[in-house]
Amino acid sequence: MVGERVPDREITVRCGLKVALGDKDLIEIDDEGVAVRITTTDPTILSGEQVCVVPYLGAEVYQRGEFIGRIISEPLTVLRDGVIVDLVGQQSISLPVKK
């Protein structure tokens, strides 16, 4: 990666996390950089089984209430009633973040 696509850090997203409806697309992470909350502005992906992209490219990332950047890639995700059950065929993935 070169230029603006070079991440400043990476965060982890794991299966089992429930995605919630929110007023913006965001990810909250804990002190270890693991997602503890993801919100989406798209209510259509939160019921039934959906193959979609969550979190979205450009979603804001917060740690301890402080903005730390935006994700610069987006994973193909399977949701079941809003719960992440598959992340690009994995149970856990790393996503790059750029300030």
Q: Is 62 within the bounds of a domain?
A: yes
Q: Is 98 within the bounds of a domain?
A: no
Please state, in angstroms and rounded to a whole number, the distance separating the CA atoms of residues 61 and 35. Answer: 9
pLDDT score of 5: 73
Please state, in angstroms and rounded to a whole number, the distance separating the CA atoms of residues 35 and 14. Answer: 7
Q: Is 32 within the bounds of a domain?
A: yes
**Each residue's pLDDT expressed in tens, for the chain with a length of 99 residues:** 455 678 999 999 999 999 999 999 999 999 999 999 999 999 999 999 999 999 999 999 999 999 999 999 999 999 999 999 999 999 999 999 999
What's the structural domain count of the chain? 1
pLDDT score of 87: 97
Q: Is 99 within the bounds of a domain?
A: no
pLDDT score of 1: 45
The sign of the dihedral angle between the CA atoms of 93, 70, 21, 66 is positive
Three-state DSSP at 73 gives coil
Note down the domain range covering 18: 3-93
Separation of CA 90 from chain center: 14
Q: Is 8 within the bounds of a domain?
A: yes
Q: Which residue has the tokens 């950047």?
A: 69
Q: Which helix (H) or strand (E) holds 18?
A: none
Exposure class string for 21-39: b at 16+ Cβ within 10 A, else e: eeeebbbebeeebebeebb
How much is the pTM? 0.92
| Strand-pair partners of 92 | 14
